[in-house]
């Protein structure tokens, strides 16, 4: 069946949280030492991993982890704990890093994000953004004028469901006014985004590489599925 709508994941698909100059310069570990490059890289991975639990959590924080994308308060609680357990012992430093994580203007778009969104919308199809997220990502699009190409944003913390639960995919599809069989889900997680196939959607996996290393993967999957 022909594709009439495309749902895009946010983190690792359309945008990526990449370390900016100065973010970790003042962070010190338990011994008061600055984080080396390897430690900084691992810290960024733990802040952005879409599914994987990267540290051992107690029961209270494990509950917060499993529900982090449904509730902004739980999201903040568990990520401050992840940062503490990942070598950021000072609360003020952890809070400063967390503020960067949830600031839409700190996220870097992939080189072909604008072109992919525009291509879907200009073809007469509908583009939607479907994300497991605990903060509003619309400003990342709005400040660039890209929200004009997005018909609907379906965000987990607003709808109370998370991928791969079928409810969140169903909500997104209904908002776009299309059938599952004519919808393509594009995302970087086989486990989370791939759940769209249970409803009959087509699914395309992209690699959440650094933005400089993935120039045209979005356009590539659109071509492969006959959208371009």
Query: What is each CA distance from 69 to 28, 77, 103, 163, 183, in whole angstroms?
Result: 28, 12, 15, 10, 24
According to the model, what pLDDT value does residue 199 have?
97
Lowest mean pLDDT of 69-83, 121-135, 204-218, name the range. 69-83
According to the model, what pLDDT value does residue 64 have?
93
SS3 content of the chain, % helix, strand, coil (to 5): 45, 15, 40
228 vs 226: CA distance, rounded Å? 5
Mean per-residue pLDDT, 73-91: 87
Q: Please state, for a pLDDT cut of 70, what percent of the chain lies above it.
A: 84
Q: Is the pLDDT of residue 82 over 90?
A: no
pLDDT in tens, 127-186: 999 999 999 999 999 999 999 999 999 999 999 999 999 999 999 999 999 999 999 999
Query: Does the global pTM surpass 0.85?
Result: yes
65 vs 67: CA distance, rounded Å? 5
According to the model, what pLDDT value does residue 166 have?
97
What confidence category does residue 17 fall into, taking pLDDT thresholds of 50, 70 and 90? Answer: confident
According to the model, what pLDDT value does residue 125 have?
97
What confidence category does residue 12 fall into, taking pLDDT thresholds of 50, 70 and 90? Answer: very high
């Amino acid at each position: 069946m022909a594709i009439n709508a495309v749902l895009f994941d946010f983190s690792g698909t359309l945008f990526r949280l990449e370390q900016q100059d100065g973010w970790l310069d003042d962070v010190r570990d338990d011994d008061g030492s600055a984080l080396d490059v390897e430690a900084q890289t691992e810290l960024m991975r733990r802040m952005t991993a879409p599914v994987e639990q990267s540290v051992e959590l107690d029961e209270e924080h494990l509950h917060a982890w499993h529900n982090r994308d449904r509730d902004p308060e739980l999201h903040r609680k568990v990520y401050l704990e992840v940062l503490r357990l990942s070598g950021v012992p000072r609360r003020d430093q952890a809070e400063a890093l967390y503020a960067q994580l949830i600031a839409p203007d700190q996220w870097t778009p992939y080189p072909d994000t604008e072109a992919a969104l525009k291509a879907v919308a200009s073809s007469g199809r509908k583009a939607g953004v479907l994300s497991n997220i605990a903060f509003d990502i619309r400003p990342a699009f709005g400040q660039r004028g890209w929200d004009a190409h997005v018909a609907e944003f379906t965000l987990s913390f607003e709808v109370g469901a998370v991928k791969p639960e079928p409810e969140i995919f169903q909500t997104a599809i209904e908002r776009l006014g299309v059938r599952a069989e004519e919808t393509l889900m594009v995302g970087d997680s086989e486990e989370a985004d791939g759940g769209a196939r249970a409803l009959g959607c087509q699914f395309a996996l992209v690699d959440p590489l650094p933005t400089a290393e993935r120039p045209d993967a979005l356009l590539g999957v659109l071509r492969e599925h006959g959208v371009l």
